[in-house]
Amino acid sequence: MPIVTFCLSIASPLGLGALFSFLVERLLRPRPAPFWRRSQGALMIHLGLWVVLFALLLALYRRPYFATANMLALLLFVVLVSNAKYQTLREPFIFQDIGYFIYPLKYPRLYIPFFGVGRVLVVIIAIGGTLLAGLTLETSLIGRIPPATFWFGVSALCILGGSLVWLGARQDLTVTFEPESDLKHLGLLASLWCYGAKESKPCVLHGARVFSTPPVLTCADLPHLVVVQSESFFDVRRWFPGIRPEVLRHFDLLNQTAISHGLLEVPAWGANTVRSEFAFLSGLASDALGIHRFNPYRYVARQGVPTLVNYLKSLGYRTVCVHPHHANFFARNRVFPLLGFDEFIDLRFFNGAKKSGAYVSDVTLANKVCRLMERYTQDSTQPIFMFIITMENHGPLWLERVEPSEVVRYYVSTPPVSCDDLTIYLRHLVNADQMIGILREYLESLTRNSCVCFFGDHLPIMKRVYELWGTPNGHTDYVVWKKERSFDTSVYRDMKIENLGAVLLREMGITL
């Protein structure tokens, strides 16, 4: 009977493929629990997804072993991507990362170096070998059974797989939104499914909306506000004492006369700037976002959330964001108007601008901001809120080369050879420090009172340096400075980034 032939033809490739899928998962870091230690629901979701994917590829290729080989090659690719991400960012691959798959093609420098040439070769060989073997060694199943029987069998497989996923999802599956923990106890496919299913549900935010209360003005003359979200900025001197103090000379001067400064707890490591960015602008902690903590710009920001930006806008501020990178990165061009920005100045406005490394230098960016402020204030008394997102210190740092003079310039003593990444980082950190000096000098020249908030979004990626000297705790630094202060003592206090916006308003004389 044709249906028996169909079942016998798919039994071995489907069963062997499911078994090998668990073996491929063992290559993951962190490694998931063995399948016999996982919950029934997690196993059902894994097997159900495997059956559905097998059915879809079988429908495409008509060759069961070829379909299985393709699925295993795809799974291996995801495993390699996950391991690269975990090694770099201390977080495995999650469902929300699927939307970034197009980014390596659009912005190769930001992604491909972290993935590694070796992994790319493994993926190419696996995919190429699969295609060659599948198309030359296996004949189409439709040549052996009637097409109607084939399509009936494929449909039955989809129903079977979908039923397994549905039954597994009805089980009591614990999802913590800690990717490493969820991967360990759910496995890769089940954790991807659970994260995707959670994101598909209506977005419900938990906790208070910091900027939802009506504005209460406590000062008649609103100051200009310049906020700098500095790429990978932290005071590296407290972690590695061999660095010359003057590397952050302007930062130190700002701290000495600041209203407040200290360590900043941020929800990102090495990348994922958008997490720190949204926490600052919205005042919402990661716990309040649930599954949306991983990329709040996908759904949360688009549904309308009270933010620092629209709060200031309601007070009469002109709200401007300046970011010397592509406007559509993280969909900022669509999200920022919803957050309350009147204007978004992106990379298009920096044609021919001086770069430091691969990106527009912080010094160039600071001078651009000063010119914009001058233009905005020339014929207007409207207060300005300028939110600046820098790019200069974005990695990969190891793609740049150290100049011999830089070792003497940045270090008290000669660092180990493996510290080249740190030296490159210091090169850009010095420029970030000069940016502070330029902005402060310009704001002090204005007759209107002004306020500066400067903070780092996350730590830099310096794997080899961390292996040598130990990994920092993940905190960055912030400073809040006001030109006209009512007291002389700078307050040192550590805080979480979601609280920084409210503190900033209070220090400006605006209460919530």
pLDDT digits (tens, 9 = 90+) for 55-66: 999 999 899 998
Q: Closest Cα to residue 491, out of 281, 260, 315, 266? A: 260
Q: Map residue 482 onto helix, strand or coil.
A: strand
Two structure tokens written together for 44: 């059902």
Q: Are 163 and 13 in contact (CB under 8 A)?
A: no
DSSP SS3 for 302: helix
Question: Which of the residues in the chain have pLDDT under 70?
Answer: 105, 115-120, 122-123, 126-127, 129-136, 206-209, 214-220, 485-489, 512
CA-only gyration radius of the chain, Å: 27
Q: How far apart are CA 297 and CA 243, in angstroms?
A: 37
Question: How far apart (Å, rounded) are the C-alpha atoms in residues 443 and 454?
Answer: 14
216-511: CATH topology: Alkaline Phosphatase, subunit A (3.40.720)
pLDDT of res. 135 = 64
- Residue spans per domain, the chain: 2-200, 216-511
Q: Which two tokens stand for residue 483?
A: 């030109």
Q: Give the model's pLDDT for residue 200.
A: 86
- Cα 359 to chain centroid distance, Å, stands at 18
User: What single DSSP character describes residue 247?
Assistant: G
- Output the CA torsion 178→181→184→190 (10° steps): -30
* CB contact at 8 A, 381 and 360: no
Which one-letter DSSP state was computed for residue 411? B
- What are the Cα distances from residue 66, in Å, to 6, 122, 408? 15, 18, 59
281 token code pair: 């602008």
Q: Would you state the pLDDT for residue 37?
A: 93
Q: Which of 324, 318, 209, 279 is nearest to 458 (CA)?
A: 279
Give residue 214's pLDDT.
67
Q: Residue count of the chain, please give it.
A: 512
Longest CA pairwise span in the chain (Å): 91
Tokens in use for 192? 């991807």
Interatomic CA distance for residues 357 and 406, integer angstroms = 15
Kindly report, residue by residue over 138-160, the tens digit of the pLDDT. 788 887 888 899 999 999 999 99
Q: Is 434 exposed, middle or buried (0-12, 13-18, 19+ CB in 10 A)?
A: middle
Number of C-alpha atoms within 13 angstroms, CB side, residue 324? Answer: 27
**Is the preceding omega at residue 267 within 30 degrees of 0, hence cis?**
no
